[in-house]
Amino acid sequence: MKYLISVIFSLTISFTMAQQNGIIRKNLDTVIMNQIVSKVEVQEITFPPNQVAPKHLHPCPVVGYIKSGAVLFQIEGKEPVILKEGDSFYEPKNSNIIHFDNASKDKPMTFIAFYIKEANEENVKLVQ
């Protein structure tokens, strides 16, 4: 459906198998967005140890989860948090991201990002 008035994006990741028919679902996050969605880009991104991301924003909402390692995460106006392996995150459209930094000085960090796009927005823009 090209024209969605309200999109409820439930990011559900299955980490272990054991429940009914061997499938366990773990709800990580539910994000409600009021926008048209024409495509979703999914990327796996790895930061080397001690990598600090510059202040940035996303012209589209981003939903994701930490595949391995830990991240210092902070949206402007909110408290910083440490996200660990298996934690999810949401970066609202056009919100300044103050920190999305590898929290380890000696281990890489990998995350999966879902860029929820209306058209051909860039994935990221640096902010002064």
Q: pLDDT tens across 33-84, in order?
A: 778 899 999 999 999 999 999 999 999 999 999 999 999 999 999 999 999 9
12 within domain boundaries: no
Task: Return the higher-pLDDT residue of 15 and 98.
Answer: 98
93 within domain boundaries: yes
48 within domain boundaries: yes
58 within domain boundaries: yes
The whole domain housing 118 covers 38-126
Q: How many domains does the chain have?
A: 1
112 within domain boundaries: yes
Query: Which pLDDT score is estimated for 15?
Result: 37
DSSP secondary-structure letter at 20? G
Query: Which pLDDT score is estimated for 20?
Result: 60
| CATH code of the domain containing 52 | 2.60.120.10
26 within domain boundaries: no
- pTM (2 decimals)? 0.79
Query: Which pLDDT score is estimated for 51?
Result: 97
pLDDT surpassing 60 at residue 7: no
Mean pLDDT across the stretch 78-97?
97
DSSP secondary-structure letter at 24? -
% the chain with pLDDT above 90: 70
As a whole number of angstroms, the distance between CA 28 and CA 11 comes to 6
118 within domain boundaries: yes
Query: Which pLDDT score is estimated for 80?
Result: 98
In the structure, what pLDDT confidence band is assigned to residue 3 with cuts at 50, 70 and 90? very low
85 within domain boundaries: yes
As a whole number of angstroms, the distance between CA 69 and CA 59 comes to 26
